[in-house]
Structure 1
Amino acid sequence: MNWYTLAFMAFTGVWGFGNVINGFSEYGGLKAILPWLIIFALYFVPYALMVGELGSAFKDAGGGVSSWIQSTIGARMAYYAGWTYWIVHMPYISQKPNSVLIALSWVVFQDSRISEMNTLTMQLICFGIFILALVLARRGISILKKLASVAGMAMFVMSILYIVLMMAAPAIAGDQTIAIDWSLKTFMPKFDVAFFTSFSILVFSVGGCEKISPYVNKMKDPSKDFAKGMIAMTVMISICAILGTVAMGMMFDSNNIPGDLMTNGAYYAFEKLGSYYHVGKFFVILYALTNLTCQFAVLIMSIDAPLLMLLDSADEEYIPKFFFKRNQYGAYVNGHILVFIIVGLLIIIPAFGIGSVDQLVRWLIRVNAVCMPLRYLWVFVAYIALKKQADKFPTEYHFVKGKGLGIFFGGWCFLITAAACIGGIYSENPFELILNIATPVVFILLGLIMPVVARKENNRENLQ
């Protein structure tokens, strides 16, 4: 595999148009550019290169985080890593029905009326969408993987298309676009509490590149080409983040950002693009249909795939045998029951304390930004453990060869991730703050309880 092939694979797996929207919304429009540059330089580059060294060291272990922890630390910590990877998908799954419903509303009505819906009504509909997805996941429909892949690629193409067309829009649409003031004050953010408590949004946006670690040993020259591929990916993502933010700044006033940008921003963007190019609602309908397909397929895959990763390699010493029951389609049906309970609560409970759809969507994104990066912590734990035992695990590719320097970078990224997760918990809304604290705490407690239940079950069987 060539370095540029890896770069494109990693890019499509990590980046999405929604990241631009979230950064623009949370960091005051064009002021998001500097935070993006900070996160890329100080966090994403070392993170991606560490993943390459881990993938090279454990090329026969499938490249999963749990297998890295198993090899470097032990089975119990590997269970906690696997549990974390699975459980943090619960808020992610609970967010997807909202995305499906918002996309469906834009397909049908081509306007933002979804923001006016009663939150309890919306969440009940989302609960129905989730149940439908759960039923389909239990049947193991393989075509959805292909559908998700095609829809994901289409979303990637539309994201790039948006940037290209928007860059050309001023020449076509003239005064309909916003002329950007290129002075320093336009791009300089305030380094206040909001700046740091929103950092989790950026960490959440650039995470997940450990999924490409198995490919490091399939490269022609891993010691050189993996680093080149990762740097190329970082440059591509940086360009998309910066140009995407600039494109948004040509559409939306950075000093007057719509309150529903996280809910409807992407649709507003493609709607305006259609008006600039005189094609009516074509772009917004195309984007909404693509997003609807992608979000629903990802919802089903997110119910099943992380559970398979947890239980396929799990030790019955840590997880009760009850969860290993499969149906005729190979789905872990009792595991799906636990998913149903957790996600059902995450869908319904917020509706009783969050008053508007726009506020609800923003909370869902922020709680994901708190929980999802928790799984990245294990990547850095594994890297620190690898560098401490460098002689035991020879690799073709090294991010850094020095043991001390490697431990420093692993600790640095661990601290940034942990700080982002903790900072992201803060909210001025007491109900949201309680949910932000309770969600990860309950997840951790469930992970601690499982081995206790499994041990009691095993002891009972041994006595019989």
Structure 2
Amino acid sequence: MDNSKKIGLWSLVMLIFVPTFGFGNITTNAVALGPAAIPSWLIVSVLFFLPLSGIFAELASVNNGKAAGIYSWIDTGLGSKWAYIGTWSYFIANLFYLQMVFARIPVMVSWAIFGENRFNDANAYILPYIGIVLAILLTLIATTGVKKFSKLSDFGGRFTIAVTVIFIVCAIIGLLIGKPSATQFTASTVIPTFNTSYFSTFSWLLFAVAGAEVAGTYIEEVDSPKKNFPKGVILATVFVALAYVVGSIATCLVASPEVIQKAGLKDASYVVYKLLAENYGLSGKIVIQIYALILTITSVAAYVVWMESPIRAMFSEVPDGTFPKFLTKKTEDGVLKNALWTQCAVVIVLILVPAVGLKSIDNFFRLLTDLSSLSLIIPYAILAIAYVSFRKRGKSAPFTMFKSNTTAYIMAGIVFALSVAGFFGAGLDYVLGAESTKDAVVSIIKTYGGPIILIFIGYLITLASKATSKENTDIPA
């Protein structure tokens, strides 16, 4: 590739930063942890995000010429069987994420139209059914091709960064000109208490820094990769950590922990912007309506792209014959229509399950966040093991993030340990808060059972495909 067309250092940093950072992650964890989220972002960025990005980079460089996604990375260390399980787990996480997305859109629209969230506990049961309609509608749009939405999606990413910067700057300026902080920062409130309540939402922090895997696929397109890629990974880690830490501080300056917790997962990101506007004498309602309207338009475009992208990666990276031909069939434009509609059908089923007995809208969003988080952690844990296996074989990679095997093993071990802690921690509150053994068992099945059952179903699909296909002998067994 011509050097003039290669990805420079700062473009690489933004390539990692944009899909990783999200203001909603700040308020989500502020609801759960309060000011204790501030040092938690540092812990997760340094001990999880940085080594994970390094693992992505090293395994991606080994798979030059391939799609260089999670399948090929795990395959390098553990073989096709675990590569399939890891990739399918990643796909399952996307299913739960889409379920959460379809529940968020009506809330965005409500804030854009009314300047408030009209979906409360009394009418929470409506959200899943609106989500089903959105799943069908957006899938229909995705089957027409996503290129037309990519530019609007890119604008959405830049818009999110811009309004976040504005929020942080205005919050800090407010403090400097004499507006009192809404939160009292003390050692007791800022230092995390490492108890079961903390670990019950720890997976949310890990989920918030997901997205760095995108950069690994571009390592061969980076200008001077041996020099710029490690710099880019480190700089991106610093920027992500700073953005989450400073953003969390700004959020605490504007809204007290009590206000944020009262707003809940569904509304916290809107409430803090509304309060900031009112602090400067502006109409909080009008400001938040404008913010929510633009966010709705750009988010819908981003979600359409996101519905199609994991599908394309999932069915293009695994060996031929892994899935039934029905799912891998493409249109002339390369769109996997059958796979998209199958995904839609599964998401609709997932939407309907928690709709039964839905009483609290905030509990609904909490469950969806937990399911998305713990599902995504599974492929990361498998990837850490694959990386250790790869290094133990003494194979060399064109790009090496961790020079010594000892350092590599320690970093992979930390990623694996944190992934396990996040996975099992995600359901702690449900189990420990159960009023009876029966309720605890139901909670365990609901929280952990869904992802595990779907992963098992995926494995059965590939076994069935193997039994009926003779085209490929590398199908997982």
Same fold flag (TM > 0.5): yes
Distance 1:285 1:60, change over 3 A: same
Q: Does 1:13 align with 2:15?
A: no
Q: CA deviation digits over 1:173-217, x for unaligned, max 9?
A: 735x52x43432231222211111211011111122111013333
TM-superposed CA distance for 1:8, in Å, is 2.2
Residues 115, 260 of structure 1: 8 Å contact kept: no
Alignment of 1:128-143 (within 5 A): 128-143=133-148
Residues 68, 217 of structure 2: 8 Å contact kept: yes
Aligned to 1:228: 231
Q: How far apart are the structure 1 equivalents of 2:409 and 2:35?
A: 35
Alignment of 1:146-225 (within 5 A): 146-171=151-176, 174=179, 177-178=181-182, 180-225=183-228
Aligned to 1:240: 243
Residue 328 of structure 2, aligned match among 296, 315, 324: 324
The one-letter code of the counterpart of 2:115 is Q
Residues 255, 275 of structure 2: 8 Å contact kept: no
TM-superposed CA distance for 1:322, in Å, is 2.3
Residue 121 of structure 1, aligned match among 113, 118, 126: 126
Q: How far apart are the structure 1 equivalents of 2:411 and 2:193?
A: 27
Q: How far apart are the structure 2 equivalents of 1:435 and 1:133?
A: 27
Residues 20, 209 of structure 2: 8 Å contact kept: yes
Q: Does 1:290 align with 2:301?
A: no
Q: How far apart are the structure 1 equivalents of 2:116 and 2:94?
A: 30
Residues 71, 318 of structure 2: 8 Å contact kept: no
Distance 1:255 1:267, change over 3 A: closer
TM-superposed CA distance for 1:172, in Å, is 5.3
Distance 1:362 1:173, change over 3 A: farther
The secondary structure found in structure 2 opposite 1:250 is: helix
Percent of pairs with identical residues:
23
Distance 1:459 1:269, change over 3 A: same
Aligned to 1:259: 262
Q: How far apart are the structure 2 equivalents of 1:144 and 1:201?
A: 28
Residues 93, 373 of structure 2: 8 Å contact kept: no
The secondary structure found in structure 2 opposite 1:259 is: helix
What is the root-mean-square deviation of aligned Cα atoms in Å? 2.4
Aligned to 1:415: 417
TM-superposed CA distance for 1:43, in Å, is 1.7
Distance 1:117 1:110, change over 3 A: farther
Distance 1:204 1:247, change over 3 A: same
Residues 23, 201 of structure 1: 8 Å contact kept: yes
Alignment of 1:66-77 (within 5 A): 66-77=71-82
Aligned to 2:464: 453
TM-superposed CA distance for 1:95, in Å, is 0.9
Aligned to 1:93: 98
Residues 118, 356 of structure 1: 8 Å contact kept: no
Aligned to 1:24: 30
Runs of at least 4 residues off by over 6 Å: none
TM-superposed CA distance for 1:127, in Å, is 0.9
Q: Does 1:65 align with 2:70?
A: yes
Q: How far apart are the structure 1 equivalents of 2:296 and 2:404?
A: 47
Residues 156, 302 of structure 2: 8 Å contact kept: no
Q: Does 1:356 align with 2:367?
A: no
Q: CA deviation digits over 1:268-308, x for unaligned, max 9?
A: 11111221223313431232123212332233223221111
The one-letter code of the counterpart of 2:140 is V
Q: How far apart are the structure 2 equivalents of 1:331 and 1:433?
A: 37
The one-letter code of the counterpart of 2:48 is Y
Aligned to 2:341: 337
Aligned to 1:81: 86
Residue 451 of structure 2, aligned match among 433, 440, 449: 440
The number of aligned residues is 457
Residues 77, 388 of structure 2: 8 Å contact kept: no
